[in-house]
Structure 1
């Protein structure tokens, strides 16, 4: 009997040692996640929302959001390719295909099908309705605008509810730049254009259209989030990126400082273009 017990005990100890060795081996097994150091990723942005998001004359993604994304990734050794020569709709498609790794935008149900958003929002954006100053358009609901000539940026989103209403508009005009929309408003070729409060007023000033375009608030005020393509190698690092972004945005002074700097950079860039300077 004692011999049987000792053999059983020996077998149990052997099994325990085997399990322990396997666990230790699993602990030291190399990670299958891609190394962030030296990783190159593509950044894409909405060209029509300065100072939050815009594209410079040399086709570089600029704005508060791009500055935050660079501050998030570059200290980790990630190289950020910010060259962009496509519109916003194409940008979103490239994220879906996995050709673009990271963007910033409103978090909608449609976009969450192919990208994951980090938890901490970068900045809030209130959506205003712009109209010719001599033909004011009061805002009551998105459905009430369906009989008007409404201009929107291709790929733009104002949330699931407004987007659904916009899709039913019989006279919806989609353009690639907000300058087109604002110039059409000034010429009374459009009745209304929904766009961001900050970006709309900044671009009106840049185009010299003050006094020609009026505006009113809508019921949409949403946040810009960082979105990572589900096909990107960055996707494996979402927990770490979430924590790093949370720490980065703890101070509200950071965003205020970036807003002021990006507004100045945008106006300076527009002035150089208008003067034809290199």
Structure 2
């Protein structure tokens, strides 16, 4: 499928999902970005909100909304990614990638501008080996624990500072590494999104081997534009269009359901491979 055909097909499919939202947005748009080409990337560790398919395509609720935001304006979106999340962030800082989605923190504010409307709320949980459960009460309780953290991950400025202060951190490139280490008892805990942790545990065939406990962290995913991107001059238009898209109460539940199904169909392993 050519890029033009793929774009048309995607906009048509999204229009069916959103009812009349896409066509109404197109009718009220006074300008077009013409033949502008932009790149997006994302974290592979937060399905169904953000993940990378085996073919290298950025998937998830956030990527679907970013495409919905840009494609009707005539923007060509390069959504192929062959890097981890840490490298993705660096490419945004350098201006080689135009759009990401993620939590807001002070470090990222140095090189991106966030759109005003949050996409989706994410609760952060700690995952642990089922044979060594613990209940989260405060960050100080992590002292001396072996904590697996994915490179580039952030849970907000306060939790990030606490993680640097109390536990023994082991940095990895993929969340699968963390979960497999947990199942083998080589880590004590891993901070992950509630949705993503449970979905990836199921995909790896680790149900019954990894447990979880809630933390005090709840945060929102935002669309972020690189300050070096040509999209910066379109911020008012993009803010308006994103707000209009997210006023549809069905969009997030519909995309979550679709992305959960797609992730498990694409990524699920036979349970014996994870043992």
Of residues 197, 220, 223, the one that matches 1:223 is: 220
SS at match of 1:52: coil
Rounded Cα–Cα distance in structure 2 between residues aligned with 1:52 and 1:177 = 16
Aligned-residue offset at 1:146: 2.9
Q: Could you list the per-position Cα deviations for residues 111-163 of structure 1 after superposition, in whole angstroms to 9, with x for gaps in the alignment?
A: 11110000001111000010011101221122321310000111000000010
**Do structure 1's residue 41 and structure 2's residue 26 form an aligned pair?**
no
**Do structure 1's residue 51 and structure 2's residue 51 form an aligned pair?**
no
Provide the TM-score with structure 2 as the length reference. Answer: 0.85
Q: Could you list the per-position Cα deviations for residues 80-112 of structure 1 after superposition, in whole angstroms to 9, with x for gaps in the alignment?
A: 101100000110111111111000000111111
**Do structure 1's residue 194 and structure 2's residue 195 form an aligned pair?**
no
1:159 is aligned to 156
Of residues 165, 168, 171, the one that matches 2:165 is: 168
Classify 1:206/1:71 alpha carbon distance in 2 versus 1 (closer, same or farther; 3 Å): same
1:97 is aligned to 94
Structure 1: runs of 5+ lacking an equivalent: 1-33
Rounded Cα–Cα distance in structure 1 between residues aligned with 2:229 and 2:145 = 40
SS at match of 2:135: coil
SS at match of 1:258: helix
Structure 2: runs of 5+ lacking an equivalent: 1-30
Determine if contact 1:137/1:192 at 8 Å carries over to the other structure: no
Deviation larger for 203-212 or 64-73: 203-212
**Do structure 1's residue 212 and structure 2's residue 224 form an aligned pair?**
no
Of residues 237, 246, 249, the one that matches 2:243 is: 246
Of residues 68, 72, 86, the one that matches 2:69 is: 72
Rounded Cα–Cα distance in structure 1 between residues aligned with 2:269 and 2:217 = 34
Kindly tell me the number of residue pairs found equivalent between the two proteins: 243
- Backbone CA RMSD of aligned residues: 1.8
Of residues 258, 263, 267, the one that matches 2:264 is: 267
Larger radius of gyration: 1
SS at match of 1:48: coil
Rounded Cα–Cα distance in structure 1 between residues aligned with 2:200 and 2:182 = 13
1:82 is aligned to 79
Of residues 222, 232, 236, the one that matches 2:233 is: 236
Provide the TM-score with structure 1 as the length reference. Answer: 0.84
Q: Could you list the per-position Cα deviations for residues 190-217 of structure 1 after superposition, in whole angstroms to 9, with x for gaps in the alignment?
A: 0000000000000111111111111010
2:127 is aligned to 130
SS at match of 2:123: strand
